[in-house]
Structure 1
Amino acid sequence: MQWNDEGLILGSRRHGETAVILEVMTRDHGRHFGLVHGGASKSKSAMLQAGNIIDLTWRARLDDHLGTMQVEAKEMRTSRFLMSACALHGFLTLAAFLRVLPERDPHSGVYEAVNTLIDQLDNPEVAAILFVHFERAFLAELGFGLDLSCCAATGTHNQLIYVSPRTGRAVSRIPGEPYKERMLQLPSFLLSDGRGIKPMEEDILAGFNLTGHFLKNWIFEPRAQDIPPERQKFISLVLKDL
């Protein structure tokens, strides 16, 4: 068995004296592990840091084996994370999200979205908005899409300002008013007619609260996991730098 692909390094661990087991999110083959001979050497260790993009060839005798990886550097990003705490915590959050995906299950759209987002992580104003959109898309990728297209109570498309914390469906102002203390706020930048509007800090925080609620209840808690703590640190940093 053999294939070639591009991959985002999520992490690695030492194996023996000179090798490492590399964890990579690939474009076409999903999240994958592979043994890199000599990966612990000085010549390769810098290339195999989390966040870097590599070209790789994976080989194994059988498809379900760990296999080996031959790697070549494509884009080195680690230094950017060392210079920006916001970028570092954003990447660590994304890596934790990707580890929710089943191993070897292709998600090419997620791969492209993650790399687009990583390129903006040291630009807080852009990163904040993209991150909320990514979290919403990530929920949809796992089968838990939020329906923000119309009011769940009336079917109308106007004054959508709430989201039901139970169903993930939008609710407009008037039918939602009696229950507003229990509703999640729906920021306009998550709606199609909100594109191009520069969100206020409270809108971005509302967006993170919205996606965070469903990430916690629909993705992480059913797996007996917590939302990665790096997410809250990223939110604090990105809002501070707006």
Structure 2
Amino acid sequence: MIEWRDEAILLSTRRHGENALVLTVLTRDRGRHAGLVRGGQSRKLKGALQTGNRIAVNWRARLEDQLGTMTVEPVHGYAALLMDHPGKLLAMGAALALTEAALPEREPHPELFDSLDALMVALDGPTWAETYARWEVGLLAELGFGLDLTSCAATGVTDDLRYVSPKTGRAVSGEAGEPYRDKLLTLPSFLTGRGNAGPNALTEALVMTGYFLDRHVFDVMGRPIPDARARLLDRFRTARGPA
């Protein structure tokens, strides 16, 4: 019998039979993992098994490659704090969906676990939308496709960074990029530590990170970017503010 215990963030649930749930979680030390929770549809476990919550899981299976069974204990109930805020719920759903869809199964990503856990905390705060956009930049880096937003790829200057090259993922200054602006992605100033994260800037940020997520992750898999993430982008496009 193989058994381990770890802390996890609940990414998704799927009904199994009359009373059980199949959970997909991101664990700190063992990456994305699934397991069967018997009685997972019960009232007793309903509150703990809300997606986005942090839980402690105990996983058991006879063989390593089996689905295995899980027992769970609540650690932090993040989801309940966001129930009255549709925008924050969309951001939570987008982050969970991207994590589940982009990560290989059972590949450890402890830094991503910590950043996702920090995002769940930040979503209850006033700068949640800006934090979410920065989280996507970090996700790209964790997946091996980090962006260089610190200096201009053409001139090396660190000021007036307005664009990102779709080929290299490097920043480009306003002066160097002006002749090619129609071929470049917009770099919102808040991602370089300047300016505010208003709805236009948030849209620009998600368009930019979405381009690289599509190109390097989801196109390679032959699948579209998750619907939850697309809905969040649509909300920023149509909102007067980030809420």
Same fold (TM > 0.5): yes
Counterpart mapping for 1:155-194 below 5 A = 155-191=156-192, 194=193
The runs of 4+ residues in structure 1 deviating greater than 6 Å are none
Q: In structure 2, what is the Cα distance between the partners aligned to 1:181 and 1:237?
A: 24
Asked whether the 8 Å contact 2:189–2:196 carries over to 1, the reply is no
Q: Percent same amino acid among aligned pairs?
A: 42
Counterpart mapping for 1:81-100 below 5 A = 81-99=82-100, 100=102
Going from structure 1 to structure 2, the CA distance change for 1:241 and 1:156 (only over 3 Å counts) comes to closer
Q: In structure 2, what is the Cα distance between the partners aligned to 1:225 and 1:204?
A: 24
Confirm or deny that 1:43 pairs with 2:44: yes
Q: In structure 2, what is the Cα distance between the partners aligned to 1:82 and 1:203?
A: 25
Counterpart residue number, 1:229: 227
Asked whether the 8 Å contact 1:80–1:87 carries over to 2, the reply is no
Asked whether the 8 Å contact 2:93–2:228 carries over to 1, the reply is yes
The code of the aligned residue for 1:115 comes to D
Alignment equivalent of 1:108, drawn from 92, 107, 110: 110
Mean CA deviation greater in 133-142 or 49-58: 49-58
Asked whether the 8 Å contact 2:55–2:76 carries over to 1, the reply is yes
Q: In structure 2, what is the Cα distance between the partners aligned to 1:55 and 1:184?
A: 41
Counterpart residue number, 1:67: 68
* Deviation of the 1:135 alpha carbon: 0.7
The code of the aligned residue for 2:81 comes to R
Q: In structure 2, what is the Cα distance between the partners aligned to 1:209 and 1:46?
A: 34
Q: In structure 1, what is the Cα distance between the partners aligned to 2:117 and 2:210?
A: 21
Going from structure 1 to structure 2, the CA distance change for 1:86 and 1:33 (only over 3 Å counts) comes to same
Counterpart residue number, 2:142: 141
* Deviation of the 1:93 alpha carbon: 0.7
Q: In structure 1, what is the Cα distance between the partners aligned to 2:155 and 2:228?
A: 38
Q: Normalization by structure 1: what TM-score?
A: 0.89
Q: In structure 1, what is the Cα distance between the partners aligned to 2:173 and 2:209?
A: 18
Asked whether the 8 Å contact 1:86–1:121 carries over to 2, the reply is no
Going from structure 1 to structure 2, the CA distance change for 1:203 and 1:229 (only over 3 Å counts) comes to same
* Deviation of the 1:179 alpha carbon: 0.6
Counterpart residue number, 2:129: 128
Going from structure 1 to structure 2, the CA distance change for 1:63 and 1:189 (only over 3 Å counts) comes to same
Runs of 5+ in structure 1 lacking a partner?
none
Counterpart residue number, 1:212: 210
Asked whether the 8 Å contact 1:9–1:22 carries over to 2, the reply is yes
In the alignment of these two chains, the number of paired residues is 238
Secondary structure of residue in 1 paired with 2:112: helix
Mean CA deviation greater in 142-151 or 198-207: 198-207
Kindly report the root-mean-square deviation, in angstroms, between the aligned alpha carbons of the 2 structures.
2.0
Going from structure 1 to structure 2, the CA distance change for 1:28 and 1:165 (only over 3 Å counts) comes to same
Secondary structure of residue in 1 paired with 2:29: coil
Asked whether the 8 Å contact 1:84–1:122 carries over to 2, the reply is no
The code of the aligned residue for 2:45 comes to K
Counterpart residue number, 2:20: 19
Going from structure 1 to structure 2, the CA distance change for 1:77 and 1:150 (only over 3 Å counts) comes to closer
Secondary structure of residue in 2 paired with 1:147: coil
* Deviation of the 1:122 alpha carbon: 4.3
